[in-house]
């Protein structure tokens, strides 16, 4: 209990401090590994009050076969608490159209997830302790979609270098508890200007390179630098997933009541066509 409170406290404090430093614009002082990751997470997972995106996921097998997932994603930040709500509506594949999925993300405890199965008109709560499990069969995990808590890893700034003509910080993250992650080590290349992760390498428990994240196209949406295409490739089994954001908009005024069982059963027409 104490742990959870403590984690929550630390996290909100760090988020607070990050927001402060963010306000100071171009920092003159060198940021620590933890600060960089913190800032990067804010930009990557929390930017804006809310967000809507049409997402196309291509799951590509080693032999080049594809599975398509098309969904609309709505995201709402619960103030500055670090908690978030996600709503997803699946358009494709055809037989899962109208399936919806909702995540209430917390800090320091497991997320709540609900799923609506239209063919039997049933909403089920899904409890999964495991954030490392695959998201809809892709190479992204739930953690990759909604973020991993910064305090769960120890972050070290290893180097500053150039990547694709951009100055980046290279940060190494090692889980404090071996069991809490599927990786033993993660290396992130974080753009010094936008703080978006341009590349991430995940190493498995044997220390072998396992998954590689790369940010593709980056565009400015309403003045916010947004990764429009990203790829997660599993170098061990040759599987990869390409995620393309087709329409993105921020601060559209999502109401919290959308993130409820009622709307799981009947999608909010206003946001989902």
Partner 1 sequence: MLKKLTYFSIDHPKLVIILILVLTGLFLFQFPKAHIDTDPENMLEANQSDRVFYDQVKKDFGIRDIIVLGITDENGIFQTETLGKIARITEDILKIDGVVIEDVISFTTTDNVISEGGMMQVRRIMETVPQTKEDAEAIKASIYDNPLFVEKIVSKDGDAVALYIPIQQKDMSYDISKEIESVVQKELGRGQNYYIAGLPVAEDTFGSEMFLQMGILAPLIGLVIFLLMFFLFRKASLVVSPMIVAMFSVAWGMGAMIGLGFTVHIMSSMIPIFLMPIAVLDSVHILSEFYDRYPALQDRKQTLLAVTDELFTPMFYTSITTAVGFGSLTLAAIPPVRVFGAFVAIGVMAAWLLTVTLIPASIMLIREEKLSAKVAKREKKPSLLTKLLPGVGRFAFGQSRIIVFGAAALLAVGIWGLTKIVVNDNPVNWFNEDHKIRIADRVMNHYFGGTYMAYLAIEGHQPDDIKRPEVMAYISELQKYLEERDVVGKTSSVADIVKRVERVLKGGSEAQNRIPESQDEIGQYLFLFLMSGNPNDLDNFVDYDYQKANIWVQMKRGDNRDMEKVEQAVQQFFDNNHVPEGIEIRWSGLTYINKVWQDLMVKGMLKAVLGGFLAVFILMLILFRSPGLAFISMMPLTFAIVLSYGLIGFIGKDYDMPIAVCSSLALGLSIDFAIHFIQRFRRKFQECGDLENTIGYIFQEPARAISRNAFVIIFGFLPLVFASLTPYVTVGAFFAMLMSFSTLTTLILLPALMRMVGFRFMKR
For partner 1, which is the closer residue by CB, 228 or 235?
235
Tokens of 163: 């990547």
- Of 80, 130, 246, 247, the residue at the interface with partner 1 (CB under 8 A) is 130
x-or-dash string of contact with partner 1, 152-191, rule CB under 8 A: ----------------------------------------
- Would you count residue 216 as binding partner 1 (CB under 8 A)? no
Is 66 an interacting residue with respect to partner 1 (CB under 8 A)? yes
Strand-pairing partners, residue 163, are: 166
Q: How far is CA 261 from CA 19, 75, 114, 129, in A?
A: 33, 16, 8, 21
Query: Which of residues 24, 26, 29, 65 is near partner 1 by CB under 8 A?
Result: 65
Min CB(28)–partner 1 separation in Å? 44
The region, left, alpha or beta by phi > 0 then psi within -120 to 50, assigned to residue 98 is left
Can you state the angle between helices 2-23 and 33-41, rounded to 10 degrees? 80
* Contact pick of 109, 176, 236, 255 for partner 1 (by CB under 8 A): 236
C-beta neighbour count of 258 within 10 angstroms: 20
- β-strand partners of 234: 211
Site string for partner 1, 3-42 (x = CB under 8 A): ----------------------------------------
Size of the site for partner 1 (CB under 8 A): 38
SS3 255: coil
CA–CA gap between residue 95 and residue 99 (Å, rounded): 9
Which of the ranges 2-10, 48-56, 136-144, 253-261 carries the binding residues for partner 1, by CB under 8 A?
A: 136-144
């Amino acid at each position: 209990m104490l742990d959870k409170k403590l984690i929550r406290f630390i996290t909100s404090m760090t988020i607070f401090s990050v927001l402060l430093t963010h306000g100071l614009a171009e920092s003159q002082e060198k940021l620590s590994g933890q600060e960089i990751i913190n800032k990067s997470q804010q930009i990557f997972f929390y930017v804006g009050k809310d967000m809507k995106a049409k997402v196309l996921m291509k799951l590509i097998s080693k032999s080049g076969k594809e599975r398509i997932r098309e969904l609309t994603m709505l995201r709402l930040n619960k103030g500055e608490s670090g908690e978030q709500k996600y709503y997803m509506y699946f358009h494709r594949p055809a037989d899962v159209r109208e399936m919806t999925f909702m995540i209430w993300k917390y800090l320091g405890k497991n997320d709540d997830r609900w799923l609506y199965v239209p063919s039997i008109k049933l909403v089920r709560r899904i409890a999964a302790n495991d954030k490392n499990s695959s998201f809809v069969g892709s190479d992204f995990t739930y953690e990759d979609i909604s973020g991993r808590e910064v305090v769960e890893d120890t972050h070290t700034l290893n180097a500053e270098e150039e990547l694709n003509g951009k100055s980046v910080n290279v940060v190494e993250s090692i889980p404090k508890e071996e069991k809490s992650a599927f990786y033993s080590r993660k290396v992130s290349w974080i753009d010094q200007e936008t703080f978006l992760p341009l590349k991430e390498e995940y190493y498995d428990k044997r220390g072998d390179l396992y998954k590689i994240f790369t940010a593709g196209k980056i565009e400015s949406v309403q003045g916010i630098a947004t990764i429009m295409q990203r790829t997660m490739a599993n170098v061990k089994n040759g599987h990869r997933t390409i995620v393309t954001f087709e329409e993105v908009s921020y601060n559209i005024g999502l109401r919290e009541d959308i993130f409820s069982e009622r709307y799981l059963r009947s999608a909010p027409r206003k946001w989902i066509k």
